[in-house]
Amino acid sequence: MDPANLLKTTTLLVTLLFLQLAAAAQQQLVKGTVYERSARFGMVGVSVMSTSGRGTVTDSLGHYSIRLPVTDSISFSYQGKATMKFPVRELAPNHPFDMSLHVDIHVLPTVVVQSQRIHNYRQDSIENREEYAKVFNYQRDYLTAVNGGAGINLDLLFSLKKAKRMERFRERLEADEREKYVDHRFNKDLIRQITGLQPPAIDTFMVIYRPSFEMLQTFENDYDYYKYIQDWGETFGQEWRRRYHKSAYTKSY
């Protein structure tokens, strides 16, 4: 390569690296906890959004963490209601930025129930795999070594029908596991906290918008998944009011 071109290329790379480092230096880690009205319990499923389009959601304890440019702003949204925007440059670095939303919600009992569900799902899955270990680990193998060459295992060949039954049984077990996983992720406590929907509207919503196991795998993170629930929850709530002329957010019996 010509020395002049090499120098230009090197200079360009150094400049790009410098710009990247400068941009990284102008970013700030913002983290904290979002509480309900009494500031006693952290809220799960609160959307943490920035003007630039970045976002995350609070975990089961109300904690969040997001890295944003100092020129950005941050706001919080729950059940379609958003807070004012807070400039990042005005937030104290290395100090938690906590927020208390004007929402009355019994968070603690919900978290306890949700934690128990997570435990049960994982434990049930482990016990299911252990109980049917032979089925899950089963593999058909009709070819076997005979005198150093390839031969036919007659015992397995004559058990072909049994082998097919084993495979079908394993497929049913795996399908059952996938449905239980969807039940675990798409549970009523979570849907109620994110959307605010109440019976009977929430029951209808969960039937119409229940995601498949494959669909759940397409969400890159919890933020995308919770955003899916929130957006469709708002659309559903509006349609519910239009069709039935009553609120989808108030219990009716």
Identify the CATH number of the domain in which residue 54 sits. Answer: 2.60.40.1120
Q: Return the number of other C-beta atoms located less than 10 Å from residue 56's C-beta.
A: 20
At what angle are helices 201-208 and 222-244 packed, to 10 degrees? 120
Maximal CA-CA distance, the chain? 82
Q: Which two tokens stand for residue 189?
A: 């406590």
End-of-domain residue from the set 184, 203, 229: 184
Same domain, 190 and 176: no
Same domain, 177 and 224: no
Q: Return the number of other C-beta atoms located less than 10 Å from residue 124's C-beta.
A: 13
Q: How confident is the model at residue 122, as a pLDDT?
A: 63
Enter the pTM of the model. 0.48
Q: How confident is the model at residue 105, as a pLDDT?
A: 52
Same domain, 41 and 11: yes
Q: How confident is the model at residue 111, as a pLDDT?
A: 36
- Which portions of the chain are predicted below pLDDT 50? 23-24, 106-119, 141-150, 253
Same domain, 31 and 83: yes
Peptide bond into 200 cis (omega under 30): yes
Q: How confident is the model at residue 70, as a pLDDT?
A: 92
Q: How confident is the model at residue 26, as a pLDDT?
A: 81
Domain count, the chain: 3
Sheet of strand 27-35: strand arrangement: 63-69, 27-35, 99-100
Beta bridge partners of 32: 64
> For residue 179, what is the enclosing H or E element?
helix 160-185
Beta bridge partners of 65: 31
Same domain, 138 and 224: no
CA distance linking residue 173 with residue 177, whole number of Å: 6
Q: How confident is the model at residue 5, as a pLDDT?
A: 59
End-of-domain residue from the set 46, 77, 100: 100
Same domain, 180 and 193: no
Q: How far apart are the first and last CA of the chain?
A: 80
CA distance linking residue 55 with residue 253, whole number of Å: 37
End-of-domain residue from the set 72, 100, 128: 100
Same domain, 11 and 96: yes
Same domain, 18 and 96: yes
CA distance linking residue 240 with residue 234, whole number of Å: 10
Same domain, 22 and 95: yes
Same domain, 94 and 12: yes
Q: Return the number of other C-beta atoms located less than 10 Å from residue 226's C-beta.
A: 22
Same domain, 9 and 95: yes
Q: What's the domain range around 194? A: 186-253
Give 42's DSSP letter. Answer: B
